[in-house]
Structure 1
């Protein structure tokens, strides 16, 4: 039993790693039954890397956060080819969202990646939300529900598993779970009407995976975050909503849960609550073995039932089997290139006011609000690069948060901001710039200030997302 128990414990662990190549310890662990690997931009992802994983364990669940928009691991250097969920929600064309999802699935199919940790099925009901924001399709349940289904259908239609996140809904929070434990102060009735419909619909659409959110919902369970709550994960998600696929945690090193328990205890509690796979965003051989050993010890001590661990490992294996059975779908998707769909969506998502005004190279002032930790720090807004491609000689100044505007000269000025709705100091910076130069052009790459971010008489562009194509769409419009 001992060897089998260790293998079961390894199957439910899905770590990320440091470095651009697969470390020897990770390859060895895969040969010993490690169930999955999570990829990040730091890993220099290509098909050869994935082949190395599969050479050790053909059933490896290779997972990645490839949402499009602000959260990309494959296109982090230049920005995503797809505009992200908020932009798709603004357009509100479910056929277009499904096309985008299919193309993201096609990208992953080309690399032989099993699972996309997308889409965000969160209803971003609080504009001050610091971690979801433009990653959500929008602020209402109906909108998010129909686009969640379209996205899932697109990705899975390409033979890659989708993952609806962050159950039971991370949209009504003002705390980033990477940094602390958020609390959703909503009644059970409101939560059921507002936050659960996208997940219900995703389950009905056959989504293969769901990711739990590290958030406290007192109306559902006043004592434990969702990731560690049997009430939320087993009774609600499994029982009431009927989800039978693979349930994965958000990364367990996030402070929302890491401040409460050790990694091993988080893993044991999550498995006991109903989770099947433990996502460890950054691991080493030592830390991986510590978590494995904690799971094995819990089973031996009776804290965690062996049947529950076996069930979890079985669901990981079932996801790998689902993926293996869809090779024909992936082959078809690889040839189904819908070139330009991302730029098409980005153009349709633009909200503009004023008059396009650029006829020469501008000074671009990037007001650097700090993105959430879900966004790779190397991700560019892309606006400067897009304008430079159209107007050589474009200059760039990066302004630190709550810093001073640079001097303006005779050149046109483009002020690039993000999430003006969330940051009073950003709105004050815009007002100061316009007082100094009424012809300043404002480009907001996030959720603009109400009602649409526009200031009377100001040329204003809202892209509703960070991506290469969103930036290009904005630059094109400014040169009309």
Structure 2
């Protein structure tokens, strides 16, 4: 058992630093998450694609893994990481009438970048117009329509060979603060959660979505004083037992300020795995991030197994879910797309905007 099987990391830039190489070769993470900083902007498509191809190859070389989760946040609106000519689709809310069509187009472009996991669809609901972080990233303002549209989007990714992930469980749509900056608190009862926030997740689970991402949110009425990411009552209780989710649970980025300090404390890794979370996402993408935290968490994982606070059976169950998904995850190479494809996709993006 080693922690790399439970770890997805970010890397520093468009080329690996010595510290990136150390983390990749030492921990051998099962996946990587790309951001805008990993692409050379302001260069020709052919030029930045070659640089990115070299970066992708180097990551596999240092992890010594043939199969990996090669992931990216790619939703539309402001959540698009690669530079042009990758299509600038509008927000999910704007594209909801063409959700499956947009997902298929996005999948074509992601596969050309060697990416096999998209951290989408957003299964939150656009329920709070003052929400500073979700808003139009969600598909709709009502749970039923948001559920059906997220379902269509998921179908588009799945039929095109991209692993999808519903986020942010059990629902981030009603918050009034940003978990990148602080820990939001939602005083919803379990009944209120079931009547609204859980509906899109329930729909996607019924369609066997393979991945669900946690929310760094405190639900005092349901999860007590623990954020959803390591709340047993929310993950094992609601997600696994009540909703019947059997796939892989992944944390939102642990470098986010809502929880970053908690993952500098001994025992949090054990709490997280015991609660039902399988994969730790550490993107190194915010000022609070550091490779020291990754090292600390990896060491805490080992110590938790040694002192008995983390049972081997819990780790084995998580490993089993991760390995099953990894076997089902296609591995793609980085290749140029024809200009005609980008033209078709840009026309689709414009059509979405005019339908809003």
Aligned mates of 2:9, 2:102 — CA distance in 1: 28
Residue in structure 2 matching 1:21, options 15, 19, 41: 15
Shift of 1:205: 1.8
Residue in structure 2 matching 1:343, options 323, 332, 350: 350
Aligned mates of 1:286, 1:102 — CA distance in 2: 38
Aligned mates of 2:251, 2:244 — CA distance in 1: 18
Aligned mates of 1:285, 1:306 — CA distance in 2: 26
Name the structure where helix makes up a greater proportion of residues: 2
- Confirm or deny: 8 A CA contact 1:109 1:334 kept in the other structure: no
Shift of 1:58: 1.1
Shift of 1:74: 1.3
- Confirm or deny: 8 A CA contact 1:30 1:60 kept in the other structure: no
Aligned mates of 1:245, 1:284 — CA distance in 2: 29
Return closer, same or farther for 1:145/1:60 CA change in 2, 3 Å cut-off.
same
Aligned mates of 2:213, 2:340 — CA distance in 1: 28
Structure 2 partner of 1:319: 325
Matches within 5 A, 1:175-324: 175-262=177-264, 265-282=267-284, 285-324=291-330
Shift of 1:314: 2.7
Asked if 1:60 corresponds to 2:68, the answer is: yes
Aligned mates of 2:275, 2:305 — CA distance in 1: 14
SS in structure 2 at match of 1:210 = strand
- Confirm or deny: 8 A CA contact 1:69 1:80 kept in the other structure: no
Q: TM-score, normalised by structure 2?
A: 0.86
Structure 1 partner of 2:173: 171
Aligned mates of 1:28, 1:111 — CA distance in 2: 24
Shift of 1:191: 1.0
Structure 2 partner of 1:39: 34
SS in structure 2 at match of 1:296 = helix
Query: For the pair shown, which has the larger CA radius of gyration, 1 or 2?
Result: 1
Matches within 5 A, 1:384-403: none
Shift of 1:23: 3.2
- Confirm or deny: 8 A CA contact 2:86 2:109 kept in the other structure: no
Shift of 1:187: 2.2
Q: Spell out, residue by residue over 1:17-63, the C-alpha distance to the aligned partner (whole angstroms, 9 max, x if none).
A: 22211334544554553211111110127333223333431112111
Structure 1 stretches lacking a partner, 5+ long: 350-480
Aligned mates of 1:82, 1:36 — CA distance in 2: 26
- Confirm or deny: 8 A CA contact 1:14 1:37 kept in the other structure: yes
Structure 1 partner of 2:42: none
Q: Spell out, residue by residue over 1:301-334, the C-alpha distance to the aligned partner (whole angstroms, 9 max, x if none).
A: 111112212222332222221113x87xx99x99
Structure 2 stretches lacking a partner, 5+ long: 40-48
Q: TM-score, normalised by structure 1?
A: 0.65
Structure 1 partner of 2:95: 88
Q: Spell out, residue by residue over 1:141-190, the C-alpha distance to the aligned partner (whole angstroms, 9 max, x if none).
A: 01110111011111121111011100000011111111111111222212
SS in structure 1 at match of 2:223 = coil
Aligned mates of 1:264, 1:311 — CA distance in 2: 22
SS in structure 1 at match of 2:250 = strand
Shift of 1:213: 0.2
Return closer, same or farther for 1:36/1:264 CA change in 2, 3 Å cut-off.
farther
Return closer, same or farther for 1:276/1:68 CA change in 2, 3 Å cut-off.
same
SS in structure 1 at match of 2:145 = helix
Structure 1 partner of 2:148: 146
- Confirm or deny: 8 A CA contact 2:264 2:297 kept in the other structure: no
Shift of 1:80: 4.9
- Confirm or deny: 8 A CA contact 2:264 2:296 kept in the other structure: no
Return closer, same or farther for 1:239/1:347 CA change in 2, 3 Å cut-off.
same
The CA RMSD measured in Å over matched residues stands at: 2.6
